[in-house]
């Protein structure tokens, strides 16, 4: 027997399909939305549709943006000769919160994981190597301190060594198994400042 009417159940079902949202949280969100003024719900729905239709990858670093180039890549104030390699856009945002990194980024959109069938060709490594043909002094590898992140860091360092470009890895301070998006700015800053050559 269904607890709620069909349309409420459908809304709860759709919301619970979102990552990190269980059935109880989906129920709370559903009832919140049902009780909100229609204009507010329409603004939310319009914002989601607008984001889905207009957000794409930056043609330079592959973060998410609504322009051809993201604000970081298009900024003349950034050091375009230093590239920090991160796994996700959320990791990029975590470093941007420190306000101390002045270079640019490269977002891989994943990490090498043989167990999950994710190889070097499945992440944005080819695009990184193309970027390194330009004027680049240093690549900072800031992948997560997980098995996949470490595997990816080692693979990238082996690709970069023959180019003569300085390659470094963020220092410890980031706990093993920790995701960058969940780490405070002070720890991230210490890890950046204490990076080591690979």
pLDDT 10s digit of each residue in the chain, 198 long? 456 668 888 999 999 999 999 989 999 999 999 999 999 999 999 999 999 999 999 999 999 999 999 999 999 999 999 999 999 999 999 999 988 999 999 999 999 998 889 998 999 999 999 999 989 999 999 998 888 988 999 999 999 999 999 999 887 666 767 777 877 776 777 677 777 777
Q: Could you give the CA distance from residue 18 to residue 7 in angstroms, rounded to a whole number?
A: 18
Which pLDDT does position 2 carry in this prediction?
58
Which pLDDT does position 155 carry in this prediction?
94
Backbone φ and ψ of 22, nearest 5°: -85, 180
Domain positions in the chain are 6-54, 64-197
| pTM of the model as a whole | 0.76
Helix (H), strand (E), coil (C) string for 67-109: CCCCHHHHCCCCEEEEEEEECCHHHHHHHHCCCCCCEEEEECC
Chain centre distance of CA 144:
11
> H or E element: which one contains 196?
strand 196-197
Which pLDDT does position 172 carry in this prediction?
64
Which pLDDT does position 1 carry in this prediction?
41
* CATH of 6-54 among 2.40.30.170, 2.60.40.3880, 1.10.8.420, 1.10.10.60: 1.10.8.420
Backbone φ and ψ of 171, nearest 5°: -75, 170
Q: Contact at 8 Å (CB) between 68 and 87?
A: no
Q: Contact at 8 Å (CB) between 120 and 157?
A: no
The DSSP letter of residue 125 is H
Q: Which fold has domain 64-197?
A: Dna Topoisomerase Vi A Subunit; Chain: A, domain 2 (3.40.1360)
**Closest to 141 (Cα-Cα) out of 180, 169, 178:** 169
Neighbours of 102 (CB within 10 A): 10
Distances, alpha carbon 57 to alpha carbons 60, 69, 135, in Å: 8, 8, 22
Which pLDDT does position 176 carry in this prediction?
66
Q: Could you give the CA distance from residue 100 to residue 76 in angstroms, rounded to a whole number?
A: 16
List % helix, strand, coil for the chain (3-state, nearest 5): 50, 15, 35
């Amino acid at each position: 027997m269904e607890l709620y009417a069909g349309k409420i159940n459908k809304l709860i079902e759709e919301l619970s399909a979102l990552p990190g949202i269980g059935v109880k949280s989906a129920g709370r969100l559903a009832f919140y939305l049902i009780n909100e003024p229609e204009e507010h719900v329409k603004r939310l729905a319009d914002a989601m549709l607008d984001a889905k239709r207009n957000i794409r990858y930056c043609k330079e670093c592959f973060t998410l943006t609504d322009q051809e180039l993201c604000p970081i890549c298009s900024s003349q104030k950034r050091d375009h000769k230093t590239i920090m390699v991160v796994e996700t856009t959320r990791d990029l945002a975590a470093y941007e919160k420190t306000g101390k990194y002045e270079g640019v980024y490269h977002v891989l959109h994943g990490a090498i994981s043989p167990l999950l069938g994710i190889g070097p060709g499945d992440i944005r490594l080819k695009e990184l190597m193309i970027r390194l043909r330009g004027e680049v002094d240093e690549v900072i590898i800031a992948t997560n301190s997980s098995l996949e992140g470490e595997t990816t860091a080692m693979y990238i360092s082996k690709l970069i060594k023959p180019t003569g470009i300085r390659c470094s890895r963020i220092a410890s301070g980031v706990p093993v198994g920790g995701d960058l998006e969940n780490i405070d700015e002070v720890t991230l800053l210490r890890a950046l400042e204490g990076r080591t050559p690979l």
